[in-house]
Chains A and B, each alone.
Chain A
Amino acid sequence: MSLRRFVLRRALAVIPVLFGVSVVTFGLFHLTPGDPVSQVVALNPDVSAAEEARLRERWGVSGPVWRRYLEWLSNVLVGDFGREIRTGRAVSGLVWRRLPETIALGLFGWVFAVAIAIPTGIYAAVNKGKLGDVASRVLALSGVSLPNFWLGLLLILVFSLYLGLFPVLPPSRLPLYHPETLRYLLLPGVTIGTAAAASLMRVMRTSMVEELNAEYVTAARARGLPERTVVFKHVLRNSLVSVVTLAATLTAGIVAGSVVVESVFNWPGLGSELVRAINRREVNVVMAITVVTAVAVVLANFLADVLYAVLDPRIRYD
């Protein structure tokens, strides 16, 4: 099977997953007792039946659940997430505005995690049992155990307030692609990436150690290849295979972490928007963000699958 066909198949397999996501999301918000309109009505005995019907029509909560679901789904499919209840503005605009911010943050967190984890993991594996390995493992353990919000506040305290090296507020007026943005991304990015970095590093180290014991490594050495080639060409790619698998699952962690980290750093992304939306009971916004993040996680897994296949030619044939 060619890589292209594999990718296509994987992409097709994403569809039922997304369908499931949409059902669950919609179900969570619409099958729980008390839809938005009935709550308005409960608050207000003065709302007439006609008004209630109008409101229901307006908020798309009239008719049987399946029809509402289909309506909602068909709107979502064309990028229409409905309107904010409070302001009446389109939710999609909000989501598209926030999404790049979260993607930028998530990507930075990723890059950070990978940039830290891979070299450290390699170093630790190659120097297994030595001081550097032990130290990096201790750091990794603490990295995994640090709560995001605590780390974020700590970083702000140390690097922004005491050392004055980084800003506390996000760059509201800089475009995301501006190089200066990196300075702003650093602290939140590090915060969001630390846990992932630590987990990745541990997996990187373990799989690297395992791979270093593989016969093909001996074989490569027996062919007189320099150790650098052995480690960085032969062992690294194999180790990355297991790292990629973990990386996909960690994406969900990063998405979840963005809620806390964006709030701590006032980052104008989907995470902080979600907190706001929940507080304000903006059902459509919460649903939109849930769907978008779920899609992001599914896509990340899809990408990981593809990357997995690119890294490891055996996968395509499974």
Chain B
Amino acid sequence: MSDDDGDAVEPVLRVEGLETHYDSTEGFLDRLLGRSRRVRAVDGVDFDLRAGETLGVVGESGCGKTTLARSVLGLVEPTAGSVYHRGEDLTALSSAELRDRRKDLQYVFQDPLSSLNPRLTAGGIVGEPLDVHGLAAGAERDERVRELLETVGLKPNHAARYPHEFSGGQRQRLGIARALAVDPEVIVCDEPVSALDASVQAQILNLLSDLQAEFGLAYVFIAHDLRVIEHVSDRVAVMYLGEFVERGPTETVFEPPYHPYTEALLSAIPEPDPLWEGDGIRLTGTVPSPVDPPSGCRFHTRCPRLVPSAEYDLSGETWRSLTDLKLRAREADGVTSLTAARTSREGDGSPVDGGALDPADAIDPAGPTGPTEASRETFDALVREEFGLPDPLSDPDAEAAVAEAIDALRDDRIGEAAELLDAAFVSPCERRHPTEYDVGADHGIACLRYDGEFDEEAGTFADGSEPAGSAE
């Protein structure tokens, strides 16, 4: 969007080691009993924002994007880390000083309607920051309000209207006008177009781009839509569970090599092209709870390209399945949750007339009783079916370990099974929290696959482990 001047200019915003943890403890009693629940919404984020550039932040909901945005502006108090604006640490400022700083740092909200005071007119909304910061008064103020409305593509006579009289796009323009009122340097846009229709979204994106050119604004642009991010950003950060997993100039992030998460996000974009066929990389589950993030690489619980341990000769796919089984066994309450559902639980064993419901289910391999009462073979088959594990596994040692775990499951010793699996199958991803590895100019990926120890070509760790298969 803007020219990359490449000079080592002092960035307008520098974020270092930013952490924002919430206490979701339920109250007095919990605190009394020391049952603290830390939500690690933002957990160690660094970035620079240069003048006039756009940094796109993308990730699924629950990954901490909004908290990051708010922490940067001091709307939420960060737990640790610093946010430097023009060399001054915002986190160290008093609230009065911070308020003053807001002239330079503005925020545009996702939901324009709920962020606009319904009892103020458009003029009042846009003029409010002028009043608050004492920037203009009287006729000058009115003139400035008109100017701002025109700047964002609204008519000056719209000043007398109330928010509900505007369309969604117009409201977002109003939100932008309000942000522009104080002539800021940086605007943090939190999903500014997510709630808008495609045609309006394009208008707003163009408007933001025009304003950037005109006023030299720098944006932190948050969105879950990679298409939008790719379009507006100069540089992109991909966020997962409070951390940046990939950072780099837009072009490089959207070209291989990818972080597996970036790759999955890209693969999921619905393409307006009937003949296009995507990669078919599909992430399972949702972002885990930030209260107790997974060990090692936080993405390992969902990662389609989990690095297999060198101990076994297993495909990446099988490794993924084994990890899924292990993770589920850890949390399961009962064995049934670890087996494929059966066609029937009826006493007579005959399928409930839903035979036609799903042809694959028409045969009930386990019979009428609970899974643990099924025969060893049937039970084994049910578990493997649920997790897509081949029978037998290609590696005999692995097969032995799995078989043992399945036996434990069948005896309803879930905890023991989980322990067996935990002991047998541990991906390096579970043990090691990846740091950011440089994969190109200004392009970093936090994934063990890019660790120096890991030979990408060989798909193996330098310690001699065998190559890991790819997801394909």
Contact = CB atoms under 8 A, between A and B. Distances in A.
B457 interface: no
Contacts of A13: 27-29
Interface residues on B, range: under 10
B140 interface: no
A223 interface: no
A89 B28 CA distance: 41
Contacts of A173: none
B26 interface: yes
B68 to A, nearest CB: 25
A318 B26 CA distance: 7
B29 A12 contact: yes
Interface of A: prevailing SS: helix
A13 to B, nearest CB: 6
Interface string B410-436: 000000000000000000000000000
B34 to A, nearest CB: 15
A9 interface: yes
A158 B209 CA distance: 77
A86 B27 CA distance: 46
Nearest to A13: B29
Interface in A10-50: 12-13, 16
A189 to B, nearest CB: 37
A318 B29 CA distance: 14
Contacts of B28: 13, 16
A16 B31 CA distance: 14
Contacts of B27: 13
A13 B29 CA distance: 7
Nearest to B27: A13
A14 to B, nearest CB: 11
A16 B29 CA distance: 10
B27, B28, B29: most-surrounded residue (chain A CB, <10 A)? B29
Contacts of B26: 9, 318
A13 B26 CA distance: 12
A188 B224 CA distance: 62
B348 to A, nearest CB: 29
Contacts of A16: 28
A18 to B, nearest CB: 14
Interface in A125-146: none
Interface in B6-36: 26-29
Contacts of A12: 29
Interface in B111-167: none
A12 B33 CA distance: 12
Interface in B28-54: 28-29
A186 B26 CA distance: 43
A317 to B, nearest CB: 10
A12 B28 CA distance: 11
Contacts of A318: 26
A16 B26 CA distance: 16
8 contacts: A9-B26, A9-B29, A12-B29, A13-B27, A13-B28, A13-B29, A16-B28, A318-B26
Given A9-B26, A13-B29, 6 more contacts: A9-B29, A12-B29, A13-B27, A13-B28, A16-B28, A318-B26
The 8 closest A-B pairs by CB, nearest first: A13-B29, A12-B29, A9-B29, A318-B26, A13-B28, A16-B28, A13-B27, A9-B26
